[in-house]
Amino acid sequence: MSRFKDLQKNLFGGTTSNARQFGMIFTLLAIILLFQFLTARNLGVGFGDGLTLRSDNLIALFQQNSYILILAVGMLMVIVAGHIDLSVGSVAAFVGILVAKSMTDWSLPWPVAILFGLGIGVLIGAWHGFWVAYFGVPAFIVTLAGMLLFRGANQYVGSAAVPVPEGFQVMGGGFLPEIGPNTGYNNLTLLLGLAACVAVVWREMQGRRTRKEMNAEPTPLWVSGIRMAIMVGVLIFVTLRFAGGRVGTSFPISGLILVVLVIAYSFYTRNTAGGRHIYAVGGNARAAELSGVKLKRVNFFVMMNMSILAALAGMIFVARSAASGPQDGLNWELDAIAAVFIGGAAVSGGIGTISGSIVGGLVMAVLNNGLQLLGVGTDRVQIIKGLVLLLAVALDVYNKSQGRFSIIGSITRPFRREAPAAPASSSEAGSPAKTTVAG
């Protein structure tokens, strides 16, 4: 038993932040394998012929959910800062229909229309940020008002679907092009997968090198090897699935946009002063302000950034759908919030990761996709998703309270450190110390 606990600690609760995210990744893999088995059984075929891991299904799953994952990136920063944004679906729909009309009615070239849409996102985000940061209105109220305001504006601007040109559609419905020799696989997708494998190995080795330079105990080499082997193996499998789909398909352009955003925002939140300020504000806003963090600037930034990403997500959805309609964006904010909380963010703020939110979003996406492949009705899909969200978080909270292994706790542990014990004197006994602070 002790050896098992040591293995569990090294693999899931090791010394690098990426190691602590393996628990949720394994949960995602377990759900994928479950639906692969169930769909194969329904068809009466072998496990390898199930529907979930087919190339066309994986490509469609990623393409259909890329806009939700983009929203989860922005929502993570909002929630970490201690806020919530209920307007993202309405903002995305409003920007989407304005961009569609700008191309069809105003004859704007699609690259200019994209910049126009992002500019609208900036203005909406500045509007929300002003009320939250400088007027002190809670973000819940501001964005609830924004949800109503921009939903009504969306339906006022266009009461019917508005088509978009083919050039714009590539943004949401296009794939990496075919280049180079005919290998039976999309070469650009293969190169992207190779780059991802190199990045995994480099990050693990860089983490080991950093710990040696800090004279800290390094992760056992065999543990690093297992982690790298698992991640590289998964990446190779996924790369071949995306690259080996039917002719004309490969890794989606919308997925490439998501990858760039995840890399950029992960670097920002982990390695810059601005990113650390967001965690500090969410952990303890008053303490952060006394430490020199510009509270208003941070709150303004996270709200404006969220609306910009909502605008981008709305344009990607419209591009994939080839038209914008008045019912776009419904309940998108709920999917984004669910992805963030499943990915390990704390309701009180100060804790969460970009990569964790992406994995949380993929958990919900695979669950939704798998239930649809099994022929489960939309009504029951919503019921099951709600119960899974509640039970997953409740079980994890219970495990943490009992001192047991916690998936979400494994993800969030890098962003917490134990505070000093509360003073023993009677004069200070009434002021218990906070157990964790954001790092």
Q: How far apart are the first and last CA of the chain?
A: 33
Element (H, E) at 100: helix 88-104
Please give the radius of gyration of the chain, using alpha carbons only, rounded to the nearest integer. Answer: 23
C-alpha 62/C-alpha 238 separation (Å) is: 11
pLDDT score, position 140? 94
pLDDT at 437: 37
Q: Which two tokens stand for residue 237?
A: 């499998």
Asked if residues 129 and 299 have their Cβ atoms less than 8 Å apart, the reply is yes
What integer pLDDT is reported at residue 203 of this predicted model? 87
Per-residue confidence (pLDDT) for residue 187, from 0 to 100: 92
pLDDT of residue 422: 40
- How do the pLDDT tens digits run along the chain, 439 residues long? 445 455 555 555 443 334 445 567 777 888 999 999 999 999 889 888 899 999 999 999 999 999 999 999 999 999 999 999 999 999 999 999 999 999 998 989 999 999 999 999 999 999 999 999 999 999 999 999 999 999 999 989 877 888 999 999 999 999 999 888 887 899 999 999 999 999 999 988 888 888 888 887 777 888 888 888 988 998 999 999 999 888 888 999 999 999 999 999 999 998 899 999 999 999 888 898 888 889 999 999 999 999 999 999 999 999 999 999 888 888 899 999 989 888 878 777 888 889 889 998 999 999 999 999 998 888 888 888 888 778 766 765 665 565 544 444 444 444 343 334 444 443 333 333 333 333 3
CATH 3.10.450 corresponds to the domain 13-173+251-374: no
Is 56:117 a contact under the CB 8 Å cutoff? no
Give me the pLDDT at residue 341, please.
Answer: 85
Query: What would the 3-class secondary structure string for 261-308 be?
Result: HHHHHHHHHHHCHHHHHHHHHHHCHHHHHHCCCCHHHHHHHHHHHHHH
- Cβ within 8 Å of residue 252, ≥6 positions away: 59, 62, 63, 66, 173, 174, 175
